Amino acid sequence: MTEKLANSPNHKKLESKVAIITGGASGIGEATARLFAEHGARAIVIADIQDILGQNVAKSIGNGQCTYMHCDVTCEDQVEALVESTVKNFGQLNIMFSNAGIINETFSQTVLDFDLNSSDRIFAINTRGMVACVKHAARAMVGGGVIGGSIICTGSVLASFALPQSIDYVMSKKAVLGLVECASKGLGKYGIRVNCVSPGGVPTPLTCRASKFDSVEEGESFFMEINRLKGCGALRVENIANAVLFFACNDSELVTGQNLVVDAGLDPHGLTKAD
Ligand SMILES: NC(=O)c1ccc[n+]([C@@H]2O[C@H](COP(=O)([O-])OP(=O)(O)OC[C@H]3O[C@@H](n4cnc5c(N)ncnc54)[C@H](O)[C@@H]3O)[C@@H](O)[C@H]2O)c1
């Protein structure tokens, strides 16, 4: 099958599926919501804390196919309510893309100056929030007798190597890998797959704000520089969404517990030039 056909909306890979995407109001989550819609997902629920943005994304996808729900993933009750209302409204949950995440925008957090208080928020969202989403999605899939449920977490290429700074972020994403490995072992007997997509440097509102670019477009040249796959442009949110789609659909029906790094051959030294 050619790549064109595989990615063509005419070849729909998610027909009848119901999906939740956390952090779906922006960046990687938004691009994934749009791709899931193109691939015929019956219902996509965007869960985020940016209500207006999330509602607008859902509306622009349209056709009643996509809805928005406020959910702060740091609050387990809100995650449980998100999953419950999805099952109530759409009958089942097939796909959870647990993607909401933040970085420490000062890129500080070295060993010697580690600020434990400021790391709490990162762990609350990136790690605690991720566990809550995996737990409640899995409970809904097991309870609902869903066959072939797929849970996908967003990790980071930074979980695959060490940095002298941003230690809190690196730790939070290494924990995601541990969660994915353990959850895949525990949920295999229910036919539920759990995988991770680990992006490299992708220009999104999150990373461009942190790198002090005025817009995502402005950030693209920086992200191209740290990319070893020359001539392909910067890594884009659509590249990450394609990897998520792979895990969400039957193309990966026997793949679980894996971490797919999508980083355009990231040169980690590019990230530490300032040292
Ligand atoms: N962009 C990159 O280069 C990159 C690289 C590696 C990993 N990631 C990961 O990708 C994921 C998405 O990031 P992005 O780059 O698309 O950023 P983004 O800021 O565009 O999107 C993240 C979304 O998460 C939402 N969010 C934040 N806190 C939340 C909370 N408590 N509850 C619910 N939603 C919340 C935000 O409102 C936002 O809409 C994150 O987990 C991030 O760590 C991004």
pLDDT digits (tens, 9 = 90+) for 139-190: 999 999 999 999 999 999 999 988 899 999 999 999 999 999 999 999 999 9
Q: Is 86 exposed, middle or buried (0-12, 13-18, 19+ CB in 10 A)?
A: buried
Contact 39, 17 (CB under 8 A): no
Of the pLDDT bands very low, low, confident and very high (cuts 50, 70, 90), residue 97 is: very high
36, 90, 97, 169: the active-site residue: 169
Would residue 57 count as lying in a domain? yes
Taking residue 125's Cβ as centre, other Cβ atoms within 10 Å add up to 20
Ligand 1 pocket at CB < 6 A: 22-23, 25-29, 48-50, 71-74, 99-102, 125, 129, 154, 156, 199, 201-202, 204-207
Of the pLDDT bands very low, low, confident and very high (cuts 50, 70, 90), residue 10 is: low
Residue with more model confidence, 12 or 230 = 12
CA–CA separation, 24 vs 67, rounded Å?
11
169 is catalytic: yes
Co-location of 95 and 226 in the same domain: no
Co-location of 111 and 224 in the same domain: no
Domain that holds residue 220: 203-234
Co-location of 12 and 138 in the same domain: yes
Percent with pLDDT over 70 in the chain:
95
Co-location of 192 and 84 in the same domain: yes
Quote the radius of gyration of the chain (alpha carbons, Å): 18
Residue 26 has pLDDT above 70, yes or no: yes
For ligand 1, the distance from its centroid to the CA atom of residue 205, given in whole angstroms, is 9
Residue 55 makes CB contacts below 8 A (sequence gap 6+) with: 68
Co-location of 87 and 136 in the same domain: yes
Domain total in the chain: 2
Co-location of 219 and 98 in the same domain: no
> Residues 120-127: what's their mean pLDDT?
97
Co-location of 195 and 221 in the same domain: no
> Residues 2-6: what's their mean pLDDT?
47
Q: What is the pLDDT of residue 8?
A: 59
Q: What are phi and psi of 226, to 5 degrees?
A: -95, 20
Co-location of 222 and 144 in the same domain: no
Would residue 268 count as lying in a domain? no
CATH of the domain at 70: 3.40.50.720
CA distances 51 to 56, 57, 58, 71, Å, are 9, 10, 10, 9
